Structure formats: structure tokens, C-alpha cells
Amino acid sequence: MLTVLAFLTLQVVAQTTGQSTLSDANPDSATHPNWAPLQQKFGEQLIRGLPYAQPCFSEGFNSTACNTVRAAYTNEGSRANTTAAYIHTQWETCQTTSQQCLLNFLDLNDSSPTKSPQHCQPGSVPSYFIDVKSADDVQYAFQFAKSHQVPLVIRNTGHDYEGRSSAPGSLALWTHHLKNISYNTQFVPQGCSKASPGITVGAGVQWEDAYAFADSHNITIVGGSDKSVGVAGGWLQGGGHSALSNTMGLGVDRVLQYKVVTPDGHLRIANSCQNQDLFFALRGGGGGTFGVVLEATVLASPPVQLQTVIVSFTSQNTTLSKELWQILADSALTWADQGWGGFSMSNLAILINPVMSKDKVSASMKPLLDFAATIQDSATAQDVQVVVTEFPTWKSFFDAFTSDHVASVGSNLAISSRLIPKSSFSTSQSRESLVNALLSANTATPGLIILLTAPASFKPTERTSVTPAWRDSIYHVTAVATWNWNATTEEKKASYRKSSASIDNLRKITPDAAYVNEADVYEPNYQEAFWGDNYAELLQIKNKYDPDHLLDCWHCVGWNPRSSRYSCYLDV
């Protein structure tokens, strides 16, 4: 089963495939009069939205071009660097009509997806992509979208669980090549007076490059656990959780300034001293909603040493899983106060601490280490591994972690999530209910992940627009379900329902709260779940800066569910 942190090792191939300029496009689409001004304005910056697997249909399954696609089909680097490739492939398809251009991600030597009666169709791939170079490019796109009634989407790397960066017949703003990055030890947000160390990144900078840059300057930035995710895009604008968030805050807690083009055509600077309402909205209100962020400046911190404890066992044993998760639940409040963050699956716990000294780790982690020792000595022990070590920097941990744990790539995947509050850990009865719900969810959809990435011990100094539930949570939990290229419409719906039903085990015992970027596509009561009491204020800000609602995306603030751009979403 592929999971959000599947046990796969990828070699990142920085390779662009499946792209075409307008002159190579389908003639019927290329001569559509509505697109002509774009060609005149952008020339080679305008890229035809050809599905990633298209060469396997047009040039043959064993062609050189198709072999290149097949070799990189489950490679996050290749997909992130390609305009029309999405990390989860249902967002390249029209799920309601089954129009698609996919390969069998479970067997890339299987040629049947390319054989008759199958043929390559664009699905929900945008018709064209503008390779954004400047604010002027975005401003022109807003004018074009308004004049020609063309749906507009924003795409950077294609890491998108909700399908917000693709839409049939749309125009995409591709921000991926905005790669500027700099460090200022005394960054002062425009119009302010207080200086802070800050890293400024273009919208196309990804975590792998940002971490390397920060490490070379002997500083730490708080970011995601996947190297190809963008720093300043949906991750940052939706909240942005990290294994460091318990002590250092969410991504939105650390933003110093945004440079953003709003749909009303203005290039704005948003920080705590000007355009404060927009700054609030961009700090958790969600990407693709309030404007096109061209760059962001985030707080840089001194280097941190990470005390790390890893316990894993190969046995898929429900009894052992229950013991592991019971220990994590029983210790959750104490460990959160002590600064621990990390991840867990049914046979794995990875815990890191940037504030604890090395000599205190064994005492703090005694329940987990005693559990590991017990199963090592028992007859049920199967390849039990225990690691207690110190990483000198966040990057050194990140490099080691991502060598073994990366997100699923090239598959169709339905996800659902839940934030688990501190109250769920307050009594032995509530902890037992939580562990049983986690086990039930993992039985329904194997591959459940517990992310200890809530800002449980962090005290924010400014307002952000994420759901306030983040501030009172210990866990962020995800469950997934997948389907292959040839699934029927009913099988796709069943996977979404399965993922949602799995997380229902947790919905029943927790408040209504989920992470906007990793939520059930059909999340019930999404306004409350994603933003809580902040939604009404966010809607006012949305209407102020985007009165024509040129930016619209699934379950985003102020979205229009009747828009034709959502015609490829299933009625689940």
C-alpha cells in the first residue's frame, strides 16, 4: 500500500518531459480565438498542457520518449518540474467522465493502459500554462481570465491532495521557476522598524533547496518533510506543519512578509505593518485564493541539534501497534511539553527534539525504549530496530529521513485527516478511545500516519488564520486509499468513501478540525473544520481583494461549488 510517507526511495531526476509550446498543440485548441492574445503576449512562456504520459500514446509504449516518462513516472522531482504532471494523478484526469492519460503505476511495464480502446485525453489538465517570470505576467493573466471567462489556477510543484491546481479548460499560472533565494540577518519588513533574520524565497523554491541554502548559512528554517514541496505556495499559505512545529511554530507563524499580486491587479506587500488583513488571510487562509504569491520571507533561526529516537519493527502485528500507540498516547502531553515532535505509523515511531539536551533523552523516552527492549527480547521480535542519536542540524536529519520515507508519487490517492486535541489525552479513558479509533482507522485503510506536528508548546505572538484547533492539538492524523488507472467511477467513489469512513473513527471523538491541505476532498462542514471562527473574516477579505472571484478552488474561502471548473469532481 502506498502511503503519504510510503517506504519508497526515489532518485530525484530534474527532468522536464511532456511539455509543448502553443505551436505544437492540438490545432483545434491552438486556433481557439480566446487563446490568441496569450500567444502574442507570452510566446515561448506559454506552454500547452499536454498530459505527462502523452508520449506513451503518441509515440508508442517502447519509444524513447515513453521510456523516459516510465522511468520517472513515480519520481517526485520529474513531476514537480513538469507543467502538466501532478503528484497524485487523479488531478490529471476527469474523474466523472474517465477522460485520462495514465499509466499503471503499480506496473510500469504494463502497456495495456495505452492500447485501444484507451487513448490520451487531457482530463483536468489546464489547457495552457504561463511560465511566470514577473508580476506583470500575473496581472495580464488576471485581465485575460476576466475578459475571456477562463478559469484560472495556480500551480507550482503539483503537490496537491485536493485538486486545487488543475481544472479542465483552465489557464494555469506556473510559478515553479521563481527560484530567487537570499538571506538577510537584519530583514525589516517594508513599512516596519523591527529587524529579524529572514530568508526570502521565490514561489518556486522547494524545501530541498531551501534547506541546503539555510544549512550553508548555519541557520534553521521550519518546513515540510518532503523535499520537492514548494516553500511559499500552498504549504505556507495553508498553515504548514513540520516535525519542528511543536517548539518552533507552524509555517504561518514564521512568515515576515509576502509579495503578492491580488486579483484586482495590484502588486502588494503584505506584512504586520501594511495590508495587515491580507497578511492575516495569507497566513492560513489557503493557497490559490487571495492572490498569487511571488515570494515570501520567513524567519530564520539559529542551528538546532536534534535528539532523535527511532523505534521500528517489521511485524505487522495489531497487538504491538496498539502497545506502541498506547505508549505514545499516554506520554503525549508530557512529550509535547518537553519539545518532542515527529511521526508514527503502526510499526514505526520517529521522535525528534530540538530543545532537549542529550543526557535527558533516555529518561524522557523511557516508556518507548522499554517497549522496544521488551519486544527485542520476546519471541515475537522481528527485525526490531532502535536508534538513539543526535543530528547536528535539521538538514542532516531531513536527509536521513527522506532517504527512506517519501510521499507516494504517480498514484491516484484519496486522503482524509483529523486534528487530535489535548483533551483526547487527558484521561485514561479518552486515551484508550483514541488508540482504539486509530487502530480501527488503520484496519480500514492501512497506512495511517500520526504526525506529531501541531504547535503544541509554541506560543504565537501574532494572529494567523488557521483553525484555532491547531493551537490545542497534539496530533495531525492522515488516512489514505488508492485506486489504479483502470478503476471504474464507482471504485473511485468507493476509495474516497473508504478514506472518509476511516477518519470517521476519529471524527466521532474529536472536535470538527482538519488540515486544509491534507483533508478529505469531501470534508463535511469544511468551513469550520479548516478555519473555525476565522472563516467569516476570511470571506470578507476574499471579497475585498477578489471581488470578481477570479481565483476559485475546491473548498476554498468563498468558492462557487456550481462553477464548471469542478465538473471533474465526483459526486460522492
Sign for the CA dihedral angle at 130, 135, 140, 143 comes to positive
Q: In what order do the strands lie in the sheet with 306-312?
A: 385-391, 306-312, 348-353, 341-345, 449-452, 473-483, 412-421
Residue 272, C-alpha cell as written in the block: 504586520
Listed residue (186, 189, 367, 157) closest to 274, CA to CA: 189
Strands (E), 124-238: 128-131, 152-155, 171-174, 181-187, 196-202
> CA–CA separation, 119 vs 126, rounded Å?
18
Using DSSP's 3-state secondary structure scheme, residue 418 falls into strand
> CA–CA separation, 17 vs 84, rounded Å?
9
What is the Rg, in whole angstroms, of the alpha carbon atoms belonging to the chain? Answer: 23
Listed residue (565, 541, 558, 567) closest to 149, CA to CA: 565
Residue 262, C-alpha cell as written in the block: 491580488
> Where are the domains positioned within the chain?
20-174, 181-303+533-565, 306-531
Q: Please report which residue ranges of 149-233 form alpha helices under DSSP H.
A: 207-216
* pLDDT tens, residue by residue, 165-205: 999 999 999 999 999 999 999 999 999 999 999 999 999 99
Instruction: Report the CATH number of the 181-303+533-565 domain.
Output: 3.30.465.10
Whole-number pLDDT of residue 405: 72
Question: What are the backbone dihedrals phi and psi of residue 400, each rounded to the nearest 5 degrees, phi first?
Answer: -70, -40
3-state secondary structure 348-390: EEEEEECCCCHHHHHHHCHHHHHHHHHHHHCCCCCCCEEEEEE
* pLDDT tens, residue by residue, 402-449: 877 777 899 999 999 999 999 999 999 999 999 999 999 999 999 999
Model confidence pTM above 0.85: yes
Whole-number pLDDT of residue 230: 97
CATH of 306-531, one of 3.40.462.10, 3.40.50.620, 3.40.462.20, 3.40.50.720: 3.40.462.20
Residue 401, C-alpha cell as written in the block: 529521513
3-state secondary structure 41-97: HHHHHEEECCCCCHHHHHCCCCCHHHHHHHHHCCCHHHHHCCCCCCCEHHHHCECCC
pLDDT in tens, the chain (572 residues): 333 333 322 222 223 333 333 333 333 343 354 899 999 999 999 999 999 999 999 999 999 999 999 999 999 999 999 999 999 999 999 999 999 999 999 999 999 999 999 999 999 999 999 999 999 999 999 999 999 999 999 999 999 999 999 999 999 999 999 999 999 999 999 999 999 999 999 999 999 999 999 999 999 999 999 999 999 999 999 999 999 999 999 999 999 999 999 999 999 999 999 999 999 999 999 999 999 999 999 999 999 999 999 999 987 889 999 999 999 999 999 999 999 999 999 999 999 999 999 999 999 999 999 999 999 887 665 689 999 999 999 999 999 988 777 778 999 999 999 999 999 999 999 999 999 999 999 999 999 999 999 999 999 999 999 999 999 999 999 999 999 999 999 999 999 999 999 999 999 999 999 999 999 999 999 999 999 999 999 999 999 999 999 999 999 999 999 999 999 999 99
Asked whether the beta carbons of 206 and 80 are under 8 A apart, the reply is yes
